[in-house]
Amino acid sequence: MSTRLAELQDIGIRFGERQLLSNINMTLHQGEIVTLIGPNGSGKSTLIRTLLGLQEPTTGKVVRHDHLRIGYMPQKLHIDPTLPLTVKHFLGLVRGVNKKDIRPTLNKVGIPHLENSQVHVLSGGETQRLLLARALLNRPNLLVLDEPVQGVDVSGQVELYNLIDVIRKELNCGVLMISHDLHLVMAQTDTVVCINQHVCCSGSPQHVKGHPAYQALFGIPGADSSLAIYAHNHNHVHDDSGEVVEEGHVHTASCQHHTH
Amino acid sequence: MLELLMRALIGGIGVAAVAGPLGAFVVWRRMAYFGDTLAHSALLGVALGFLLDINLNFAIVVLCVGLALVLVALQKKHIIATDTLLGILAHSALSLGLVAVSFLDNVRIDLMAYLFGDLLAISQTDLYWIYGGGLLVMSLLVTFWRPLLALTVNEELAKVEGYPVEAIRLLLMLLVAVVIAVAMKIVGVLLITSLMIIPAATSRKLSQTPVQMASMAGVLGCLSVCGGLWASYHWDTPTGPSVVVCAALLFLIAYTLPIRKTA
């Protein structure tokens, strides 16, 4: 396997009386996309925050290898409306950023036209792209994405996932992301880790999808189970490998159109 | 008389020029109540200064900085909600200050001057404190502008990118403490926060970037000081409140006049 970036060793987290996570072991490698899935309150975000050093584990430890540089994309961006801030200035806040990199990065995530817009007026999809740009400007070899497609409509979600995949290949970085929807991320994910306080199951997307622990949490794919709370209406179909096929047009990161 | 006015003007402008930009951070980070708490405790500093017979400005700076440190420590413990904690400290400190002052029979303290400020009572020594403290705060603000702003925009991103978040947060609180200690002379403990937040709030309407908002706040603060002094000179109104009224008028004008805002 390729270079190790970071390892979570026997991570346990307890808030007061509540054991939020226990016995989590995970290794992140260069060039690999790992997707965390799990129900609300299963501790996905807490686990990510532990890796980032924003949360101290109660037990276990986080090993960050020397060359590790993390680009973090938080779940959402709240900027106080009393703070006037353009996209350009927001990205200029990255520690040690070279201002010359801002424009190419905006191009890469597909929002070069928003350089001088105020961050408060961006749509959901635009905000996610801005956050991705900020993560990229930290010159990461590990991208940590907490629900990168939150607040984005389904076709926009597909575009974003494709973009993340393109960036992963370009930078050969590792990716750790949280997703609610295994179907959408299947094609781009190498490893899926299903979490509910502990690791329920992990492996390739196909493997996890067929695993009883996954099915108990998310319902059996295709079956109209009462547990299938995460099911939503797809406006597209998947081919066998999980690639999205839409009638007449396949979305890729190079698509320049936006859905608002 | 002219010398008195000049000194008041120079001192007032010195304070407002620093209080404005720092006030922008107070507004962005919603620290107004924190500022109030420090300001109210400044009176205790005055009382202690008299009791221990040390330089008043020094006593106030030490007390404000000390209280800021205590607040940071208490906030981390999450004993009670922050606003409750601030409320308790603010009013206890103010009351304690008033009680302490009442014990000082042999010293005559112009309480009104400390509560509402007396710009015309500024001495030459005060000017040194104002400009010394002001320059210190300004240079720190300029030097650490980017980390301070990164922290304000999003603490978690700043931390992941490797900014020393705790240290920067502490720096900001200390800067606020110093400005409050220095500005107390001008507008008094009850009105200090207004000199920080009103010009900054006015400036929000007129700016597109953080730098614009911060510098414009400084300018608006200086204008308020000039206007307040002028009113005080012509109509014999109390200087501190006149300055605040002037700042509030500018705020009203900025938010009622149809100023076109380019997005």
Looking at residue A151, what is its pLDDT?
78
Residue A231 has pLDDT above 50, yes or no: no
Residue-wise pLDDT tens digits, A44-82: 888 999 999 898 888 888 888 888 899 999 988 888 899
* Interchain CB contacts (distance < 8 Å): A and B: 68
Instruction: Decide: A157 and A151 in contact? Cβ < 8 Å.
Output: no
Return the higher-pLDDT residue of A155 and B226: B226
Under CATH, which number does the domain A4-69+140-245 receive? 3.40.50.300
Sign of CA pseudo-dihedral B43, B45, B48, B53: negative
Residue A224: the pLDDT is 47
CA distance B156 to chain A (A): 7
Report helix, strand or coil for B261.
coil
Q: Do B263 and A90 make contact, defined as CB atoms within 8 angstroms? A: no
The answer on pLDDT for A12 being more than 80 is: yes
> At residue A259, does pLDDT exceed 80?
no
Both structure tokens of B152: 């304000």
Q: Nearest chain A Cα to B150, which residue? A: A93
Query: What pLDDT sits at residue B242?
Result: 92
C-alpha distances (whole Å) from A207 to each of A34, A151, A190, A220, A231 are 14, 29, 11, 13, 19
pLDDT given at position A255 = 45
Between chains, do B204 and A84 touch, taking CB under 8 Å as contact? yes
Question: Domain extents for chain A?
Answer: 4-69+140-245
A225 against B141, higher pLDDT: B141
Query: Predicted ipTM?
Result: 0.83
Where is average pLDDT lowest: A97-111, A232-246, B47-61, B200-214? Answer: A232-246
Residues B209 and B24: their CA atoms lie apart, in Å, by 12
φ/ψ of residue A5, rounded to 5? -105, -45
CA-based nearest residue to A36, from A27, A48, A22, A23? A48
Q: What percent of chain A has pLDDT over 90?
A: 23
| Parts of chain B with a pLDDT under 50 | 262-263
Contacts of B149 in chain A (CB under 8 A): 93
Q: In A, which residues are within 8 Å of B168 by CB distance?
A: none
Q: Using the beta-carbon criterion (under 8 Å), do A79 and B210 form an inter-chain contact?
A: no
User: At B256, phi and psi to the nearest 5?
Assistant: -105, -35
Whole-number Å distance between alpha carbons of B261 and B263: 6
pLDDT for residue A117 is more than 90: yes
Q: Which residue has the higher pLDDT, B118 or A256?
A: B118
Using the predicted structure, report yes or no on whether residue A246 has a pLDDT greater than 70: no
Q: Do A95 and B153 touch (CB under 8 A)?
A: no
* Chain B interface disruption, residue of A49, A52, A70, A95, most B CBs within 10 A: A95
Taken in order of first residue, the domains within chain B and their CATH numbers are 2-255 (1.10.3470.10)
Residue from the list A54, A79, A86 with its beta carbon closest to the beta carbon of B208: A86
Query: What pLDDT shows up at residue A210?
Result: 77
Cβ contact B153:A85 at 8 Å? yes
- Partner-chain residue, chosen from B149, B210, B263, that has the shortest CB–CB distance to A121: B263
Q: Once rounded to an integer, what is the mean pLDDT over residues A224-247?
A: 48
pLDDT of residue B98: 86
Q: Is residue A66 less than 8 Å (CB to CB) from chain B?
A: no
> Are B203 and B19 in contact, with CB atoms under 8 Å apart?
no
Helix (H) / strand (E) containing B253: helix B239-256
Contacts of residue A47, defined as CB under 8 A and 6 or more positions apart, other chains included, come to A8, A11, A13, A21, A24, A36, A195
Chain B hits for A75, CB-CB cut-off 8 Å, are none
What confidence score (pLDDT) does residue B132 get?
92
pLDDT grade for A181, boundaries at 50, 70 and 90: confident
**pTM of the entire structure?**
0.83
Written as one string, the DSSP assignment of B8-48 is HHHHHHHHHHHHHHHHHHHHHTT-HHHHHHHHHHHHHHHHH
